[in-house]
Structure 1
Amino acid sequence: MNAATLPFRSAVILGAGLMGRLLAVTLAQAGCKVELFDAAGPEADGAAARVAAAMLAPLAESAIAPPSVVRMGHYALNRWPVLLESLAAPVFFQRAGTLVLWHRQDAPEAARLARMLAHTGEVVPELPAMKSLDAAGIAALEPALGQRFAHGLLLPEEGQLDNRGLLAALLATLQAMPNVQLHWQAPRSIDDFDAGETGQPERVIDCRGLGARPQWGALRGVRGEVIRVHAPEVALQRPTRLVHPRYPLYIAPKPGQVFVIGGTEIESDDMSPASVRSTLELLSAAYSVHSGFAEARILEIATQCRPTLPDNLPAFRQPRPGVMQINGLYRHGFMIAPAILDVAMELLATGHSALASRFDLAPSLETVLP
């Protein structure tokens, strides 16, 4: 897409989290003049995207996500490499699959999960089929785990990326673009602009997440807690999920022997520090997967609230001509962001989106016109 295919030449984007940065880069690459406003600083300190594992796991997430989100996630797996290739710095990305494990006492819950994933495979047949593993199969994938677990599942071709590396690469790309202006510590609302009027941007795109709640009252926060550790004694090659009595723990290996451990999901917009209970449960569960976590060093215990709509699905709105709002990515932000980006670009270019229908997003569109 280039400037000739867009019916506008200037845009303001509110919110420099994941979606805001992706849209800013894409529009600027298309020749559009872009101004990006964010209430925080360039490190994305206020963004939910900074506190995430950035796993790209549509089949794994189907345990809580509907087929439309699964399809978005599957679509995005092939789009991410293309998007990453255009950035000013490399970003860690892999597609080595997701490993699902469980302790003997949690076998009934694991069987229930396997049935759910099998049903997803029937509903979304384009997904690679999951594979059942015995101890030898687990050891072949992760040698350190073969003696700890007798059974597991491999969800092939699922992936992950480095969320903070991506945010930094998007920032570096934007900073190098002459047609982009970045405004930090500069909170703005859609009410601060008159899109299309003289001296105003032709389009305003609101990607503020929970920051948009004054204009989108249905938004709520869903709290997540994430622990980042440096664990030189742990060798894991792919994201690993542990079937857990209260929530599905995940361990995502990042470059430099850093691991992101998380899984909590609390219906609250409380942004206070993580509780002792959650911290103990996450670290104990990680230790039960690999004893090397006992000597890990805790780098960070972080909390953040994900912007969520009542149906837990993403949505687009046009509150008035020239203004688009994108929100409600919930816990699936990195997994579905390329799909949401491509839908947004189709809508901005023509007012219509074939992808929106493919991903069951059409009901959320309220006459988004170019």
Structure 2
Amino acid sequence: MKAAEFRSFWLSWRANRAFFFVFFFYILAVASASAFWRIAVDLQIYSDAFLLFGLGVTVILFAGISLRVMLERPPHLFPALWDRLLANRLPERLIVGLPVALALPLFFSLFTSMKGGISRIVPFYADSALITIDRAIHGGWDAWQILHPLLGTGPLTFALNFLYNLWFIVMLVILFCVTFSVGNGRLRSQYLVAFVLIWALLGNVGATVFASVGPAFVMPFYGDDTFSPLMNYLRATNANYPVWALNAQGMLLANAALDGPRLGSGISAFPSLHVAVATLNAIYFGRFGGLLRGAGIMFLIAIQLGAVHLAWHYAVDGYASILATPVIWICAGWLSDLPRQPVTADVAG
């Protein structure tokens, strides 16, 4: 191995060792659970989706950099563009980021396979207890009933649904930026390790231990009409303002009747991964302060409100995620033993 190749390998390993340490144990856990409970695992569910997303983000970034260079009107465009890429540490970003980027489709495919297999491990049972706990916290009311006088209008429902769907793009963009960041090695490692632990511990283990379907599905799964007024409101609103949550919930219900994992399949309520990831991002952005900190907190609040108002979750699902995520963040910090470096103001590194 040449010196340059060895240096690249060492740089990549040093930056990603904590991530791959956790990922390796996740693979072993999924393999064991799959074999024991005979859960179907598809390793390529997200391969095409991540390829398209990666290509799209790459094209947008390079187009933006190229436009900035062209506006400066250098005498020689391509040498100037190459110099700009080197100034932004592109080779180092690729060395550090590509191994993680290539592993992420596999990680999400394993996660979705396990999420879809929850009912093979334990039947859904916890909704009644979660409804009782939720009401105890909120003075005998379901959380959506408290929020409905504030949020129960078409425009607000549409806005919350838009933000709730935007969560997927926000999550992937931030994950992409952190993956290819080089400004603060330990903070990057802590985020990536926490990201994996959140999905594994909360999205797989927690969702299995507290197997539940959420307000939108208590009727089809249990024959319980507790949340029928909320679902009726959402359907009535959908006649004038698009409520995409209804389509997504219908797709999940249809997939639940089929064998094998599919893109975006699997039903679980407690705890809320949407809220957990939004909490993780709020913690991460809090390191940079100012506008980013405020944006992270406001987005977290919107996701928690949308999760309840759109019948995806009980409020307690989000509360549990908000409490558990900082603990996972701290544990991820212990696992990320890269030397501490000053936090810079560059979110992308």
What's the TM-score bracket when you normalise by the shorter of the two chains? under 0.3
Q: Compare CA radii of gyration and give the structure with the larger one.
A: 2
Higher strand proportion: 1
Higher helix proportion: 2
- TM-score (norm: length of structure 2): 0.27
Q: Which has the higher contact order (CA 8 A, sep 6+)?
A: 2
